[in-house]
Structure 1
Amino acid sequence: MEKITGLLKIRVKRGIDLVVRDILTSDPYVVISMADQKCQTRVVKNNCNPEWNDELTLSITGPSVPINLAVYDKDTLTADDKMGEAKIDVQPYLDVIKKRLENLPTPTIIARIQPSGDNCLAEESSIVWKDGKIYQDMVLGLRNVKRGKVEIQLEWVHKLKTRVVKNNCNPEWNDELTLSITDPSIPICLTVYDKDTFTVDDKMGEAKIDIKPYLDAIEMRLQNLPTPTTIARVQPSKTNCLADESCIVWKDGKIYQDMMLRLANVETGEVEVQLEWIDLSGGSRHM
């Protein structure tokens, strides 16, 4: 079986007829967890039909690790009360992702998943190709409670992008993008585009991010160094896109690498980035 790795975006849309845990209502939020990964939505006050529309992201490194969803009522003075739970069966969705479909009419329904004893679906769920992406909408019936449903949407993340900065050739983004790293030999590609409204976005240059020296520093498992401590200095060469020396630094218990990348296939342009490693058990990395 082909192993699939990457980022799965789970958009938690809304709750439907959730149980009451306070006197007349509840203050619900959702927790999504898988192995040692956990993320949660914001709390919606005094609402048993909340609309979150929050996007949560998990790193997928295997085909069969269960994803758990739990709804809680936020309490101030006591432990938060559970309002139900469900398992998210992502296997049919990942099976579609592995097919590497391209250029389908939009929208195209690829598969229909029926409720069964093996999933927590409250109704039929469709996997749909739309505008070059594959989505699956689900309505999950919550278990271990009298009633309650949660509507979510799955989206596989192939690439990430920053916000657009208008009318500026020296933009400051300061955006954080997270990638799952399972094979350091696979290059990370950075591309700069000019956003156009009525035509295709123009490419403004590209670079490959060489993360091997950084991951070598991570594998050293350094601890308790003075802050800051420069661990390594990486020089520009024909095998990387560095515009000047790049330092890998230990600071406040974390390891960072600042890079100035020279853009290729254009006359001028550089992009400054910083790498930070986020530890996840199971051998995967977030960067």
Structure 2
Amino acid sequence: MSRLFIALLWLLHWLPLSVLSRIGEGFGLLLYALVGRRRRIVKTNLSNCFPDLDEDGLHRLTRAHFRMLGRSFLERGLQWWAPRERLERLVHLHGAEHVRRLLDEGTPVILMVPHFVGLDMGGLAISMHFDVVNIYARQSNKVIDRWLYHGRSRFGHQILLPRDESIRSVVREMKAGRPFFYLPDMDHGRKDSVFVPFFGIQAATITGLPRFARMAKAKVVPVSSRFLPGGQGYEITLGEPWADYPSGDLEADVACMNARIEAMVRPMPEQYYWVHRRFKTRPEGERGFY
């Protein structure tokens, strides 16, 4: 089945993006109808993070999210096989000068990448301009794992470290001039996490970002990945480096990160990865969300 899906993605990647994106949105609506458990997770997340939404608004935002999710699955073939020339026409990268300036100054860089559905396209765009270090979680499905790894390493000289690799290895690569492509906004349980607000909800959040920034004396650059409508492509924005971060107060720094991610999500909430159980770990004595 995995090989059939890969073959389908290969066939679809030849289509114009204006056609492929519509097929992807249709696929997302099919997922919305079929995957009831994930649909309920999305609705639970959205209803808690956007309490002002009425039932109709919640329904529309949930469907919009699944349309974007469907696109993210089917447009992955572009990341894996489209020639560089086509990708350069489709992917619009803004703010690369911020990273280039820091690297030219000899300052280590952490690319802070929230889980937008287009994050892999963002990673691809960045890899066409910079050699980065990334933490890669091997997939249990070897066929999918092979192509995910290929997509993240096909341009430049990227370093993908296993999840259990030493923190010192990441810091060493940053100090050698490689930006660190880091995804810090998923619920990984209580270990190395603190509870800080995310959309007003206490969320278990890993403390890695301020810890890495302190150890490497690195600047944090936020990365926003947006799917544009129809055949317009993708907009990847590298923001201004964060000033005065980290502050030295670990919990305050993690809370600051969540607040800044929330500000990035609000303009395009349908493109955040709401199928993840972001609030599955609860403070002691608090009832679970899911």
Superposition TM-score tier, normalisation by shorter sequence? under 0.3
Larger Rg, first or second structure (1 or 2)? 1
TM-score of the superposed pair, with normalisation by structure 1: 0.22
Structure 1 or 2: more helix by fraction: 2
RCO (CA 8 Å, sep 6+): is it higher in 1 or 2?
Answer: 2
TM-score of the superposed pair, with normalisation by structure 2: 0.22
